[in-house]
Structure formats: structure tokens, C-alpha cells
């Protein structure tokens, strides 16, 4: 019987290469989709673990358990708990930016205010680990400028108004205040938005 190709223990003939489909930039692969789903599941588990135990009280094991995976799976994606926290923060920023961009700017302000004010991980850190929260929120001028730019694009406003809005939202992370006051401030800010 003829062999369709070299067996694993046979040396490959000269010039032979396995057929591997080329990956086009921007194209998704099944393995890429699975990795994305796994990463999203890990971040969901991290959010649950951090909301329940805080960042200091959580371990890589507790994050893996909350995600329903083996610790080795978590380590395949993240080396440290700090990496997990940064990835979770980045994912939440992406989610909020996408949500804000899909709404009229005035509704987006209210949504963003409520989201950052009641986010379970942010609330846990603000209440129990304010120094950790402050460290997570501290950023370089370049990252801040990028965040303001993203917010300006999502809200469809000029950079100065996006800067004001970003600073207001950052204040809500640290001190959310009452829902009525937050929404009243969002309404006042929306008066500054172009119609």
C-alpha cells in the first residue's frame, strides 16, 4: 500500500512540506476563535474572582476556578495576576467604548456613568483596596491621550469635551455618588454635546 506522505518517524523527503493553509491578516481561524473564547472566559472568571475576593485576595488558582479551567490553561494566556487585571481592564474599556459608540451620545454618557459607578470589580477595589485601584488607573500621558481619543470617537465629540468626560468618569470610578446625581450630571454634560 502506498503511503500518502511520510510517517511521523520517517524522515521527510527533500522538498516536502506539510500543507498548511496560509493565514491572511485579519482572517479568523477556528483555533483563533477558540483562543478568543477561552481568553474571554478567563476574563469573565477573573471578574468574578476579583469582585468576590479583590485583587490581593485572588490567586491564579481562584481565577482559574472561577473560569472553570485548569490553572495551566490560565497560565497559557497570562503569566501573572497583574497581567490578568490589566487584560480585564483593557477588555472592559473595549466593551464600554463599543457600547458608547452604539448609542446616541447623551444616552452613552448615562450608560458609561452607571457602568463605571457600579462595576463589581471597581467597587470591590474602591472599597477594600483603593491603593490597588489607584495603581491600576494610573497611566502614562500617551495612554491617557489614546483613551481620550477613543472616547471622543465613541461619543462623536471634540477632544476637549472627551477629556472632560474622561476625567468625570474617572472620578466616578473612585467615588460613584448617588445614581440620581450621576444621571443629572450626565444630563448636564450632554447639554454640551453637539445635537
Residues 172-184: pLDDT tens digits?
Answer: 999 999 999 999 9
Cell of 152: 471622543
In a domain, 174, yes or no: yes
Which backbone phi and psi does 16 adopt, to 5 degrees?
Answer: -85, 135
The Cα 67–Cα 52 span in angstroms is 13
Grid cell 473612585 — which residue? Answer: 174
More confident position, 33 or 145: 145
Q: What would the pLDDT profile of 63-94 be if each residue is shown by its tens digit?
A: 999 999 999 999 999 999 999 999 999 999 99
In a domain, 10, yes or no: no
- Which among 144, 32, 141 is positioned nearest to 93, based on CA atoms? 144
Sign of the Cα torsion 55, 57, 63, 66 reads negative
Q: Which domain holds residue 37?
A: 32-190
Q: Say how many domains are in the chain.
A: 1
Whichever domain contains 127, its CATH number is 1.10.357.10
56: three-class secondary structure by DSSP: helix
- Looking at residue 30, its pLDDT comes to 55
25: three-class secondary structure by DSSP: coil
- Looking at residue 105, its pLDDT comes to 87
Amino acid at each position: 500500500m502506498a503511503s500518502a506522505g511520510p510517517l511521523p518517524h520517517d524522515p521527510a523527503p527533500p522538498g516536502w512540506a506539510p500543507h498548511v493553509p496560509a493565514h491572511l491578516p485579519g482572517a479568523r481561524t477556528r483555533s483563533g476563535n477558540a483562543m478568543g473564547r477561552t481568553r474571554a472566559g478567563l476574563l469573565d472568571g477573573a471578574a468574578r474572582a476579583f469582585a468576590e475576593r479583590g485583587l490581593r485576595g485572588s490567586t491564579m488558582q481562584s481565577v482559574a476556578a472561577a473560569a472553570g479551567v485548569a490553572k495551566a490553561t490560565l497560565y497559557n494566556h497570562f503569566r501573572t495576576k497583574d497581567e490578568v487585571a490589566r487584560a480585564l481592564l483593557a477588555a472592559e474599556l473595549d466593551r464600554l467604548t463599543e457600547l458608547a459608540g452604539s448609542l446616541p451620545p447623551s444616552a452613552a454618557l448615562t450608560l458609561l456613568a452607571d457602568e463605571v459607578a457600579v462595576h463589581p470589580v471597581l467597587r470591590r477595589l474602591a472599597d477594600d483596596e483603593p491603593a490597588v485601584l489607584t495603581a491600576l488607573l494610573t497611566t502614562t500621558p500617551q495612554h491617557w491621550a489614546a483613551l481620550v481619543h477613543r472616547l471622543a470617537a465613541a461619543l462623536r465629540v471634540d477632544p476637549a469635551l472627551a477629556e472632560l468626560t474622561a476625567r468625570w468618569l474617572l472620578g466616578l470610578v473612585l467615588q460613584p455618588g448617588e445614581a440620581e446625581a450621576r444621571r443629572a450630571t450626565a444630563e448636564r454634560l450632554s447639554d454640551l454635546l453637539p445635537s
